Structure 1
Amino acid sequence: MQKPTIIQLSEFDITQRIIESLSNVCTRSVLFSVKNESKDATQISDELKISLSTVYKTLSTLEDLALAEIDKYVISTEGKKIKLYRSRIGKVEITLEDLEPSLNLYSNTSNPKSNS
């Protein structure tokens, strides 16, 4: 079996995946939109003027990477269960030294997770 290349290994490296995700302006916008207060996907879509499907896809990616989480559920006036998302990240630092990226993620302390 052939040894994987650096690029192939990087595709599975969580640090690399997070850096690639955060290089997208839409992803960063969604993540930091929910930094100070929990919001549902519709609120994020309206605020950022991006499609609801893009918001849902981005939130799913952020959840997979453990950068965002469901803070709580609320019930709409129609009786629907709505997820409110919040950023788990308050600050991100990415540095590059000797062609090797370094990622520092700082916990979001502006909106502690509710105990509900």
Structure 2
Amino acid sequence: MFGDLSGMMDKLNNAKQKVEETKKRLDTVLIDADAGNGVVKVTVTANREIRSISIADAILVDKEELEDYLIIALNKAIQKANAINEAELAAAAKDGLPNIPGMDMFK
């Protein structure tokens, strides 16, 4: 009924391995975002880990403005990271999954 079950299991294990390798690689993909025309800059990985935050001295006098710029820059970076992360992981999973009729989960 399901054909070569052993072969399917090998393909599933291969998909899992590809996803894990992709996750590790995404730790090295850096995404930059800024707010306030570069007053605040952040760098995150595609796995949504903050790597650095840079703040211009001029903004240090206004706490509320600094907080706003941090939120804006971090949200921009996280949105970009999410898009890259989801696309890369879906591609890795799709490449390794066996072809089961009616189970096309990654269209």
TM more than 0.5: no
Structure (1 or 2) with the greater helix fraction: 2
- 1 or 2 for the larger relative contact order (CA 8 Å, sep ≥6)? 2
What is the TM-score when the length of structure 1 is the normalising length? Answer: 0.25
Structure 1 or 2, whichever has the larger Rg, is 2
What is the TM-score when the length of structure 2 is the normalising length? Answer: 0.26
Structure (1 or 2) with the greater strand fraction: 1
